[in-house]
Amino acid sequence: MSELVYRPASELVALIAKKEVSSVEVTKAFFDRSEKLNPVTNSYLHLNRELALAAANSADEALSRGEVSSPLHGVPIAVKDNLTTTDAPTTSGSKILEGWVPQYDATVVTKLRQGAMPILGKTNLDEFAMGSSTEYSAFGPSKNPWDLDRIPGGSGGGSSSAVSGFLAPVAIGSDTGGSIRFPAAVTGSVGAKPTYGAVSRYGLIALASSLDQIGPVANNVLDTALLQDVISGHDPMDSTSLPNSLGSMAQAVRQADPKGLRVGVVKQLSSDGFQPGVKELFDDTIAKLVAEGVEVVEVDCPSFEYAVAAYYLILPAEASSNLAKFDSVRFGLRVTPEGNPTIERVMAATREAGFGPEVKRRIILGTYALSSGYYDAYYGSAQKVRTLIQQDLNRAFEKVDVLLTPTAPTTAFKIGEKVNDPLAMYLNDIATIPANLAGIPGMSVPNGLAREDGLPSGVQILAPQMQDALMYRVGAIIEKLYLAQWGSPLLTKAPKLEAK
Amino acid sequence: MSEITPDTVRHLASLARILVTDAEVEKLAGELAVIVDSVAKVNQAVSKDVVATSHPIPMANVFREDVVRPSLSQSQALSAAPDSAEGRFRVAAILDEE
Strand ranges (E), A310-432? 402-406
Of A196, A361, A378, the CB nearest to B31: A361
- Band (pLDDT 50/70/90 cuts) for residue B12 is very high
Residues 78-97 of B with CB under 8 A from A: 79-83, 89, 91-97
Q: Locate the chain A residue with the closest alpha carbon to B93.
A: A342
| Residue B36 maps to a domain | yes
pLDDT of residue A423: 86
**Shortest Cα–Cα distance, A425 to chain B (Å):** 11
Residue type, B89: F
Closest among A332, A97, A117, A111 to A202, alpha carbons compared: A111
- Fold held by A4-264+399-493: Amidase signature (AS) enzymes (3.90.1300)
Question: Is 60 exceeded by the pLDDT of residue B10?
Answer: yes
Rounded CA-CA distance A40/A33 in Å is 11
Residue B66 belongs to a domain: no
Q: In sequence order, which residues have a C-beta less than 8 Å from that of residue A2 and are 6 or more positions away?
A: none
Q: What is the CATH number of the domain that holds B30?
A: 1.10.20
- If one counts the domains in chain B, the total is 1
Average pLDDT of the residues in B85-90? 96
Question: Which amino acid appears at position A205 of this protein?
Answer: I
- Residue B55, in any domain of the structure: no
pLDDT score for B2: 62
Catalytic residue among A179, A200, A320, A328: A179
User: Which residues, at least 6 apart from A425, have a Cβ–Cβ distance to it below 8 Å?
Assistant: A131, A132, A133, A418, A419
Residue B3: the pLDDT is 79
pLDDT in tens, chain A (500 residues): 459 999 999 999 999 999 999 999 999 999 999 999 999 999 999 999 999 999 999 999 999 999 999 999 999 999 999 999 999 999 999 999 999 999 999 999 999 999 999 999 999 999 999 999 999 999 999 999 999 999 999 999 999 999 999 999 999 999 999 999 999 999 999 999 999 999 999 999 999 999 999 999 999 999 999 999 999 999 999 999 999 999 999 999 998 899 999 999 999 998 778 999 999 999 999 999 999 999 999 999 999 999 999 999 999 999 999 999 999 999 999 999 999 899 999 999 999 999 999 999 999 999 999 998 889 889 999 999 999 999 999 999 999 999 999 999 999 999 999 998 888 888 899 999 999 999 999 999 999 999 999 999 999 999 999 999 999 999 999 999 999 999 999 999 999 999 98
In this predicted structure, the answer to whether residue B1 has a pLDDT above a threshold of 60 is no
Cβ neighbours of residue A443 under 8 Å, at least 6 residues apart? A181, A184, A190, A191, A192, A193, A221, A224, A460, A461, A471, A472, A475
In degrees and rounded to multiples of 5, residue B41 shows phi and psi of: -70, -10
Active site residue A155: yes
Contact A196 B57 (CB under 8 A): yes
Supply the pLDDT for residue A1.
Answer: 43
Q: Which one of A95, A308, A364, A423 would you mutate to disrupt binding with B, by most B Cβ within 10 Å of its Cβ?
A: A364
Map out the domains of chain A as residue ranges.
Answer: 4-264+399-493, 308-382
- The pLDDT, as a whole number, for residue B97 is 66
Tens of pLDDT, residue by residue over A465-480, are 999 999 999 999 999 9
Domain that holds residue B33: 6-44
| A349: nearest CA partner in chain B | B19
Coil, strand or helix: which one is A402? strand
Tell me, yes or no, if A80 is annotated catalytic: yes
Residue A444: in which H helix or E strand, if any?
Answer: strand A442-449
Torsion sign over Cα A199, A203, A209, A213: negative
CB neighbour burial string for A366-399, b if at least 16 within 10 angstroms, e if fewer: bbbbbeeebeeebbbbbbbbbbbbbebbeebbee
Q: List chain B residues with CB under 8 Å of A390.
A: 53, 56
- Number of H helices and E strands in chain A, helices first, is 16, 11
Q: What ipTM score was computed for the predicted complex, to two decimals?
A: 0.95
User: B32 lies in a domain?
Assistant: yes
Residues of B in contact with A373 (CB under 8 A): none
Tell me if the bond preceding A94 is cis, omega within 30° of 0. Answer: no
B10 located within any domain: yes
CA dihedral A436, A256, A492, A53 (to 10 degrees): 70
Give chain A positions within 8 Å (CB) of B15.
367, 371
Residues 9-38 of B with CB under 8 A from A: 9, 12-20, 24, 28, 31-32, 34-36, 38
The pLDDT value recorded for residue A470 is 98
